[in-house]
């Protein structure tokens, strides 16, 4: 039996790869940098933050000019944008992605159900859950054809209930976990693995700029067993591990410093 965990030369699509600066990249950008260090080619998306993605690409190209990197504007809430994204990726790289990191996400912090407008619920579900379904549908045919694929969703500790955010955000992330486990059961024999990384209290991000923003919430650093918030490079480590480990599928990996 051939075991192929090599990601060098593979094409990885990372959604929401924009944001942050050189020393403090956001989660999608940190994943992109780490996959690039392992020799993957990259297709990276941004929604509004083009400059930060351009800066990241310039940095990565300095390290290795041979690994092609393309960038794409995409609002993952729009089905047409996702379809166009896959068309552009095919045009730029001559193929669809071998690895999908569905990271782009949204979560306006509204804790109390009575304050969550139906529009907020719908938009959160669209960006976090519906887009993951559409992206997966677009990604799977190429992976099936070559009997090799890795799909990693960035979910959240919120999927299990613990959250500084409201039930809309938890529901959107729990939906992704359910979808991932279903697909893992049905499709892992086809060479595609499906896993999710569920981070908690990762600071230096748009969602949680600093530990100050956690004070007085369930994510307050005093409640985190390791005694600090998480770093985006730690998310990237786990994502890359999942891409390089084909024997792991259908798992939700809680990355929370021990917070339950
Ligand atoms: N930070 C945490 O502690 C934490 C915890 C649990 C889960 N997460 C999850 O981790 C992922 C990354 O979050 P982050 O903390 O790095 O947040 P972030 O700094 O706010 O980054 C969000 C990323 O998603 C993109 N994005 C947002 N809405 C989009 C849309 N409608 N269409 C396309 N892209 C969109 C943003 O693009 P632009 O900047 O270009 O607009 C950005 O690249 C999200 O799925 C989030 O739910 C984060």
- The enclosing domain of 103 has a CATH number of 3.40.50.720
Alpha carbon of 256 to those of 6, 228, 231: distances in Å?
A: 28, 10, 10
- Residue 2: the pLDDT is 85
Give a yes or no: residue 50 inside a domain: yes
3 domain residue, yes or no: no
Residue 22 has pLDDT above 90, yes or no: no
Strands 24-25 and 20-21, sheet pairing: antiparallel
pTM of the full structure = 0.98
- Residue 191 near residue 147, CB atoms below 8 Å: yes
Q: Which atom of ligand 1 is nearest to the CA of 158?
A: 6
With 0-12 CB in 10 A as exposed, 13-18 as middle and 19+ as buried, what is 237?
middle
Residue 207: CB within 6 Å of ligand 1? yes
169 is catalytic: yes
For residues 168-178, give the mean pLDDT. Answer: 98
Answer whether residue 5 is part of any domain: no
The answer to whether residue 6 sits within a structural domain is no
4 in any annotated domain: no
Mean pLDDT within 55-72: 95
Q: Give, for ligand 1, the residue of 21, 55, 79, 205 to mutate: max count of ligand atoms closer than 8 Å to Cβ.
A: 205
Average pLDDT over residues 98-110: 97
Does residue 2 lie within any of the structural domains?
no
Whether 1 maps to a domain, the answer reads no
Mean pLDDT of the chain: 97
Look up the domain containing 135 and give its range: 11-255
Which of 106, 123, 169, 247 is catalytic? The answer is: 169
Number of domains in the chain: 1
Select from 4, 1, 77 the least CA-distant residue to 45: 77
Q: Is residue 141 part of a domain?
A: yes
Atom of ligand 1 nearest to the CA of 17: 43
């Amino acid at each position: 039996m051939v075991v192929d965990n090599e990601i060098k030369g593979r094409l990885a699509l990372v959604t929401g790869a924009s944001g942050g600066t050189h020393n403090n990249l956001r989660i999608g950008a940190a994943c992109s940098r780490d996959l690039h260090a392992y020799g993957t080619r990259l297709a990276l998306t941004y929604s509004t933050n083009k400059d930060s993605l351009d800066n990241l690409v310039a940095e990565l190209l300095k390290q290795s000019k041979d690994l092609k990197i393309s960038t794409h504007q995409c609002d993952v809430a729009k089905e047409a944008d996702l379809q166009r994204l896959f068309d552009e990726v095919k045009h730029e790289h001559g193929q669809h992605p071998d690895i999908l990191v569905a990271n782009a996400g949204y979560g306006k912090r509204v804790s109390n159900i009575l304050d969550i407008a139906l529009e907020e619920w719908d938009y959160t579900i669209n960006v976090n859950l519906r887009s993951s379904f559409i992206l997966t549908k677009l990604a799977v045919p190429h992976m099936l054809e070559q009997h090799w694929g890795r799909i990693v969703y960035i979910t959240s500790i919120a999927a299990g209930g613990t959250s500084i955010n409201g039930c809309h955000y938890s529901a959107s992330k729990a939906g992704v976990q359910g979808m991932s486990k279903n697909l893992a059961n049905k499709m892992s024999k086809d060479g595609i693995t499906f896993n999710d990384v569920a981070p908690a209290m990762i600071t230096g991000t748009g969602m949680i700029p600093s530990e100050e923003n956690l004070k007085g919430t369930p994510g307050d650093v005093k409640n985190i067993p390791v005694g600090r918030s998480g770093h985006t490079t730690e998310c990237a480590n786990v994502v890359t591990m999942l891409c390089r480990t084909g024997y792991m599928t259908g798992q939700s990996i809680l990355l929370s410093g021990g917070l339950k």
